[in-house]
Amino acid sequence: MIVIIQGLVILFAGALENMFRPAIGRGFASFGQRFPVASQKGA
């Protein structure tokens, strides 16, 4: 019974991660465009 519950938790955690991943990626992309990092100027 415990193994089934653990499997369901892992399954839903993976589904939630894939659901929020595009929004988090867009947030980091817009954050990177607003504040360019100094190392991107060229070395």
Digit-coded pLDDT (tens) for 2-28: 999 999 999 998 888 888 888 888 888
More confident residue, 5 or 42: 5
- pLDDT bucket at 36, cuts 50 / 70 / 90: low
State whether residue 42 is helix, strand or coil: coil
Angle at 5 between CA 22 and CA 7, to 5 degrees: 50
Is the C-alpha dihedral spanning 14, 20, 26, 28 positive or negative? negative
C-alpha distances out from residue 21 to 7, 8, 40, Å: 21, 20, 25
DSSP state for residue 5 in the 8-state scheme: H
- Residue 36: both structure tokens together: 């360019």
